[in-house]
Amino acid sequence: MAVHEIVMENEQAWRPDTDTRKGLLQIWQVMKECIYRGTHTPGMLPGGLEVKRRSAELNKRLLKGQPYSNYEGWLEAIRKGGNDFTYILDWVSCFALAVNEENASFGRVVTAPTNGAAGVIPAVLQYYIAFCDGNKEEKIMQFLLTAAEIGSIFKKGATLSAAMGGCQAEIGVSSAMAAAGLTDVMGVQRQVLMAAEIAMEHHLGLTCDPIGGRVQVPCIERNTMGAIKAITASQLARQSAPDYAKVSLDAVIKTMWDTALDMSHKYKETADGGLAVNVPLSLPEC
Ligand code: SF4
């Protein structure tokens, strides 16, 4: 069975399939609305860091004035731009920035697996919809079921909390989830866990050091990195033979947890180390 099939069958212990499917599509609906809102909202973020929102400007630049009035029209306009590598790369960043700018300005996001890392999974799924295989409900559900299972395995074997494990637990896990989901919908079942493993392997040790304690810098950009690493990990896994993989998903989860235990508290969401102490700021007290 494919990972998404196992998860779907497991969910039957909790609720009928129709409810699970409805819930999954509702999750994508919220993610989609968040991306669309974020890509159409310019301005500054609240919080005193004076961080400028970038997604809306990038969206405008990439679309070069093409007209549209809703999500479907926007998607069509994006597709008209072709398949150039830098064009796609810019869009992946644009989708991820959009979600995390929404998160940083009290907008509605789907916690996946956390709010700081909420942009990775929507960005990769939106990339798949825009540039790979179209807007198909079955594939969207498949992607989310597989991604959710990978998140659950990380939660049980390590942590999803930056306060316990640094950013490897947030962006690292979201990237692994997205890599697995993407590999699954690309129809390459044997490499699903390998893709998740690769994505996490190259986030190991990533610290959490948000400037001023705001989930803005480096968090917003970091979602673009998590998304592109997920796509690369999926691509690499799909071009590789899992039989020859040296690191298993179980091994990388254990390594992530060991690294979390060794990590100084300065790098666990305390804003006491890293960028948080090396970038000078003058934030008002309240
Ligand atoms: S740096 Fe910390 S707050 Fe920011 S995304 Fe990573 S884990 Fe979340």
Domain ranges of the chain: 3-278
Structure-token pair, residue 141: 């559900």
Q: Judge if the beta carbon of residue 276 lies within 6 A of ligand 1.
A: no
Which among 174, 167, 154 is positioned nearest to 31, based on CA atoms?
174
pLDDT in tens, 210-257: 999 999 999 999 999 999 999 999 999 999 999 999 999 999 999 999
> Whose C-alpha lies nearest to ligand 1, atom 7?
167
Q: Judge if the beta carbon of residue 167 lies within 6 A of ligand 1.
A: yes
- Residue 268: beta bridge partners? 208
3-class state of residue 120 by DSSP: helix
Rounded mean pLDDT of the chain? 96
3-class state of residue 67 by DSSP: coil
pLDDT band of residue 284 (cuts 50, 70, 90) is low
Residue 208, phi then psi, degrees to nearest 5? -110, 115
pLDDT band of residue 134 (cuts 50, 70, 90) is confident
Q: What angle do CA 106, 40, 44 make, to 5 degrees?
A: 50
pLDDT in tens, 64-123: 999 999 999 999 999 999 999 999 999 999 999 999 999 999 999 999 999 999 999 999
Residue 49, phi then psi, degrees to nearest 5? -85, -10
> Whose C-alpha lies nearest to ligand 1, atom 8?
116
Q: Judge if the beta carbon of residue 269 lies within 6 A of ligand 1.
A: yes
**Ligand 1 pocket: which of 154, 167, 268 to mutate (most atoms <8 Å of CB)?**
167
Quote the pLDDT of residue 93.
Answer: 98
> Whose C-alpha lies nearest to ligand 1, atom 6?
167
